[in-house]
Chain A
Amino acid sequence: MTAAVRLGVILLCHAELEVAARMARIWAEGGAHVVIHVDLNVPEARMSPMRTALADLDNVVYSRRHRCAWGRFSLVRATQDAAQHLLAAFPDTTHVYLASGACLPLRPVAELTAYLAADPQRDHIESVSAHEVGWTVGGLNEERFTLYYPLDWRRHRWLFDRFVEWQRRLNVRRRVPRGLSPHLGSQWWCLTTATLQSILNDPRRAEFDRYFRLSWIPDESYFQTLARRHSVTIESQSLTLAKFDHKGRPYQLYDDHIRMLEESRCFVARKAWPRAANLLSHFPLPAGAVPDPSPPQPARIERLINRTVRRRVLGRPGLYMQSRFPRKDAENGKTSAPYAVFQGFSDVFPDFEQWLSGRLSGDVHGHLLGPEQVEFAGRPQVGPGAISANPVLRDHDAQGFLTALIRITPRMQVFQFSPRDNQVLNWFIATDPNAHLLVITGAWMLPLLHSGMPFDDIRRVTAQLQRAELAQLEVLNSVWVKARVQIHDLSDFLARPLALLDEAVRQVQPTVDPIDALPRMRDLTGLDELLRKLRNAGLRPRLTGDGLRLPEQPDNERTAAE
């Protein structure tokens, strides 16, 4: 069966000739004809070790050398010449594989020929229509074909960009030669000799070459486009595993990829780090008695690479560290997990923290942003993640404090908040979709009620806290809010505390048991008297709600009702 397939390999080399010579030997000893193209930029002196290393192999030849520049037509020219040279020197060739000196054959060459023999008419070349957006990474797509590119991007980067801009402004649109539909794809392909011959001997080849000479990165489009014109059946997937990062640079392969490359069953991978000694000596895998023609399954390694691209581009949500410090609103997730902020509840119910921690499955803290201390659950001096309870440290980078706490703890974080606490995170929390914000406005007044402070002090503190809470409400009522916010004023809440408390707890954790009894409530006697006094002292209480109707001993009433 394999007798039907005679593989020829074009090896494009421009650096690391030592590795390239090794690869040529692998191909040649596997029974393939090899033609090597070495970039003319490499001095002749550096080629002689390669020539001597491969001198004993009679199926290795060298094609005419061209000076190649990345992204230019010279690469296509080199490939064309090498292909012609190969077909002339070894007329029995049935398939031609284009590889580079850094492409590492993973499986024995015999398995590749067996795979090709299963359907010998098929061309393996990735070829995606240029009109479908999305094949290219970090570069031009359709404009590769509609603008002129006479300049070398590497050497005249600034001029190149200006020239592209200028053409865009002038609405320059090159006409694609009639009968061609621009296609893009990986530059590494495997074509049948028939297809390759008809591409090389196309009567209109001069016209096509002229067109592609001024298009951008023709090595990713010349054969990909012309194969569509001449091929009978195209398998639009490259047999070479070559992944690019978000900037279009190829990934390197190292010793620790050996296992995964083995599992991928790919025939050829690109590109191996030249000093990855274990990797280079491990592959190609030794040939079995019967060549295994199973197709490649690169899904797993592609997933790994896509995951790292995602990590590079999007990062892990809620992480702030030495190499990820997103500017405001570019965070891709301000925090890493949902959390809840209860404001005013601990003023209405003095034991609210203990009561809540018995019900929710998360960590219930006190006032994490409180002025005297970071009130971690249980009040340790060092909280989760070894975060200090020192408020000066916390306020130095409050956002870092909160995000680190949420990221380091496996459970949901719940904490108390009030206008007495540090207010710097108001915008951050309000614009964070992970936040649940449950607010009773004006509740901060209740601890003042029986504080025993002189009335003048109460009036002053009230003014301060009211100002702080009004500023916060301005944030919470803005159009930028992303958090789930529930706001009640104190009189609303006191009118039906059980229902609203149940609703609040349920919003944070829907699976929680229904609440049938209120926790101990603060004594409210004298509240309307205090409010009246404040009003008469020239301070209008604006957050407690209007017409405060105080339930008589609400705690007892509820329990009695049941």
Chain B
Amino acid sequence: MMRLSNIPLPERLRRRAERQWLIGRAANRRRALRSVIDRTGQILPDDILTFVTQRNERIRLPYFLDYYREMGVRHFLFVDNASDDGSTDYLREQPDVSLWWTDASYKRARFGMDWINWLLLRYGRHHWCLTVDPDEFLIYPHCDSRPLPALTDWLDASGRRSFPAMLLDMYPRGGIEDEPYAEGQDPFQIARWFDPANYSISKNQYFGNLWIQGGPRTRAFFTYDPLTGPALNKIPLVRWNWRYAYVSSTHMLLPRSLNEVYDEDGGEMASGCLLHAKFLSTFAEKSTEELDRRQHYANSKEYRAYHAGLQTGTRLWCSESREYQGWRQLEDLGLISRGNWA
């Protein structure tokens, strides 16, 4: 991408070249992946698939898998980035998981997206594909009464190919370390608070996506350089075609039309949220480890900021935090919308 951006090309051609470069790169990096167990033969047409990259998330996996199974996901495709906490063995035993293992650099695989792009290309075609991290939990309008296939069927019927879900950081009321997270537990029993209205939006003209920042991380960890705070816009659910590619995490895709998940004429389109269960008792340990590995975005700036913040005992909770009550609350606050999905 760096080299391409220097070539003067009409934007359309440049985006096309970038997309082809991403796809080629993903195909090239497939050699880094070693199949541990391949159950992709079980995948039926119209199954909803979930794609995950994980490293040492053993304690989170049971709840994660159950959450999405119950929602209607039929198969999980995991990339394990050299875990050493037994999560490889755990995933290998799950009946609906296909697992690949790699010890290649997460950073040099564009933060795992090359691997995911390859799996999407190879297995995701014509399926609705959900690309999430093990600490992200999808919430969408009516999710308490309608399973995920209801949403994807409706998106199909409405002629839509992608569905946005903004990342919503959840945190506990007390200190992050105070209440230990136990395996299999609903993380939102502990981290059940969020920031309701401090999100800033700008539009990326080149990719056509919205760039959303804000939330507790920007408020608490990035006060001195707030504009470098993490991006919260995500498009995790896509009806995949082999021509598509994720550009940067799941923040944006190519071709550009997949990023147009918002209405510019004043109307509201349907959208959901990814509840982000990052700030649990497991977090400090994780941030120390990730700091040592230096494998994260912008030189792990996020993790450094968190680490500095957490050392001095920063709490994310403030008097304006809201306690999570369900998708209707998020819709009233204007964080998600049902659009015309009555």
Complex interface: chain A residues within 8 A of B341 (CB): 308
A53 within 8 A of B: no
A7 nearest CB across to chain B (Å): 30
- Please tell me if the beta carbons of A311 and B268 are within 8 angstroms of each other in the complex: yes
Within 8 A of B (CB), among A405-430: 405, 407-408
B265 within 8 A of A: yes
B263 within 8 A of A: yes
- Please tell me if the beta carbons of A325 and B201 are within 8 angstroms of each other in the complex: yes
Known contacts A312-B268, A330-B265; is A323 also within 8 Å of B339 by CB? yes
Q: Mark B249-268, 1 if CB is under 8 A from A, else 0.
A: 00000000000011111111
A79 nearest CB across to chain B (Å): 23
B224 nearest CB across to chain A (Å): 9
B218 within 8 A of A: yes
Chain B residue at minimum C-beta to C-beta distance from A328: B264
- Please tell me if the beta carbons of A325 and B262 are within 8 angstroms of each other in the complex: yes
Complex interface: chain A residues within 8 A of B201 (CB): 320-322, 325, 397, 400
Q: Mark A310-327, 1 if CB is under 8 A from B, else 0.
A: 011111100111111111
- Please tell me if the beta carbons of B261 and A408 are within 8 angstroms of each other in the complex: no
A14 nearest CB across to chain B (Å): 14
Complex interface: chain B residues within 8 A of A320 (CB): 201
Stretch at the interface among B177-185, B209-217, B282-290: B209-217
Within 8 A of B (CB), among A255-276: 255-256, 273, 275-276
CA distance A327 to B263 in the complex (A): 9
B33 nearest CB across to chain A (Å): 32
Chain A residue at minimum C-beta to C-beta distance from B337: A323
CA distance A176 to B319 in the complex (A): 69
B195 within 8 A of A: yes
B334 within 8 A of A: yes
A388 within 8 A of B: yes
CA distance A252 to B338 in the complex (A): 14
A401 within 8 A of B: yes
Complex interface: chain A residues within 8 A of B340 (CB): 245-246, 308-309, 311-312
- Please tell me if the beta carbons of A326 and B264 are within 8 angstroms of each other in the complex: yes
Known contacts A304-B342, A320-B201, A322-B166; is A390 also within 8 Å of B264 by CB? no
Complex interface: chain B residues within 8 A of A408 (CB): 196-197, 333
Within 8 A of A (CB), among B136-155: 142, 145-147, 149-150, 153-154
Known contacts A316-B268, A323-B339; is A396 also within 8 Å of B262 by CB? no
User: Which listed residue (A256, A313, A332, A393) contacts B226, Cβ 8 A?
Assistant: A393
Within 8 A of B (CB), among A278-326: 304-305, 308-309, 311-316, 319-326
- Please tell me if the beta carbons of B146 and A386 are within 8 angstroms of each other in the complex: no
A534 within 8 A of B: no
B176 within 8 A of A: no
B199 within 8 A of A: yes
Complex interface: chain A residues within 8 A of B212 (CB): 322
Q: Mark A192-216, 1 if CB is under 8 A from B, else 0.
A: 0000000000000000000000000
A382 within 8 A of B: yes
CA distance A276 to B149 in the complex (A): 10
- Please tell me if the beta carbons of B197 and A308 are within 8 angstroms of each other in the complex: no
Complex interface: chain B residues within 8 A of A322 (CB): 164, 166, 201, 210, 212, 233, 261-262, 271, 335-336
Complex interface: chain B residues within 8 A of A308 (CB): 338-342
- Please tell me if the beta carbons of B145 and A392 are within 8 angstroms of each other in the complex: no
- Please tell me if the beta carbons of B266 and A315 are within 8 angstroms of each other in the complex: yes
User: Which listed residue (B197, B267, B319) contacts A312, Cβ 8 A?
Assistant: B267
A510 within 8 A of B: no
Complex interface: chain A residues within 8 A of B37 (CB): none
Chain B residue at minimum C-beta to C-beta distance from A388: B219
A383 within 8 A of B: yes
A249 within 8 A of B: yes
A271 nearest CB across to chain B (Å): 10
CA distance A314 to B269 in the complex (A): 10
B211 nearest CB across to chain A (Å): 10
Q: What's the dominant secondary structure at chain B's contact region?
A: loop
A80 nearest CB across to chain B (Å): 28
Known contacts A312-B339, A313-B267; is A256 also within 8 Å of B196 by CB? no
Complex interface: chain B residues within 8 A of A139 (CB): none
A385 within 8 A of B: yes
- Please tell me if the beta carbons of A386 and B196 are within 8 angstroms of each other in the complex: yes
B203 nearest CB across to chain A (Å): 7
B295 within 8 A of A: no
Chain A residue at minimum C-beta to C-beta distance from B270: A323
CA distance A407 to B201 in the complex (A): 15
Known contacts A382-B320, A386-B216; is A396 also within 8 Å of B266 by CB? no
CA distance A276 to B72 in the complex (A): 13
B337 nearest CB across to chain A (Å): 5
A19 nearest CB across to chain B (Å): 13
CA distance A326 to B263 in the complex (A): 6
Q: Which of B166, B212, B226, B261 has most chain A Cβ within 10 Å?
A: B226
A384 within 8 A of B: yes
User: Which listed residue (B213, B270, B320, B336) contacts A386, Cβ 8 A?
Assistant: B320
B299 within 8 A of A: no
A251 within 8 A of B: yes
- Please tell me if the beta carbons of B267 and A315 are within 8 angstroms of each other in the complex: yes
Complex interface: chain A residues within 8 A of B311 (CB): none
Complex interface: chain A residues within 8 A of B189 (CB): none
B223 within 8 A of A: yes
- Please tell me if the beta carbons of A384 and B264 are within 8 angstroms of each other in the complex: no
Chain A residue at minimum C-beta to C-beta distance from B232: A322
CA distance A386 to B218 in the complex (A): 11
Known contacts A256-B142, A315-B268, A325-B210; is A396 also within 8 Å of B227 by CB? yes
- Please tell me if the beta carbons of B198 and A404 are within 8 angstroms of each other in the complex: yes
Known contacts A330-B265, A404-B199; is A388 also within 8 Å of B334 by CB? no
B321 within 8 A of A: yes
- Please tell me if the beta carbons of B233 and A252 are within 8 angstroms of each other in the complex: no
Chain A residue at minimum C-beta to C-beta distance from B263: A324
CA distance A256 to B143 in the complex (A): 11
CA distance A254 to B266 in the complex (A): 27
20 A–B pairs (Cβ distance < 8 Å), ordered by A? A252-B150, A308-B338, A311-B340, A312-B269, A319-B268, A321-B262, A321-B334, A322-B233, A327-B264, A330-B264, A384-B320, A386-B197, A386-B198, A386-B321, A393-B198, A396-B200, A397-B200, A405-B197, A407-B197, A408-B333
8 interchain residue pairs of minimum CB distance: A385-B197, A397-B200, A312-B340, A323-B271, A256-B145, A408-B197, A332-B266, A386-B195
Interface, chain B (partner A; CB < 8 A):
142, 145-147, 149-150, 153-154, 157-158, 164, 166, 195-203, 210, 212-214, 216, 218-219, 223, 226-227, 233, 261-271, 318-321, 333-342
* Given A249-B158, A321-B334, 20 additional A-B pairs, CB 8 A: A246-B340, A254-B146, A273-B154, A308-B339, A312-B339, A321-B337, A322-B212, A322-B261, A323-B339, A324-B268, A324-B337, A325-B203, A325-B210, A326-B263, A330-B265, A386-B195, A386-B197, A388-B218, A388-B226, A404-B197
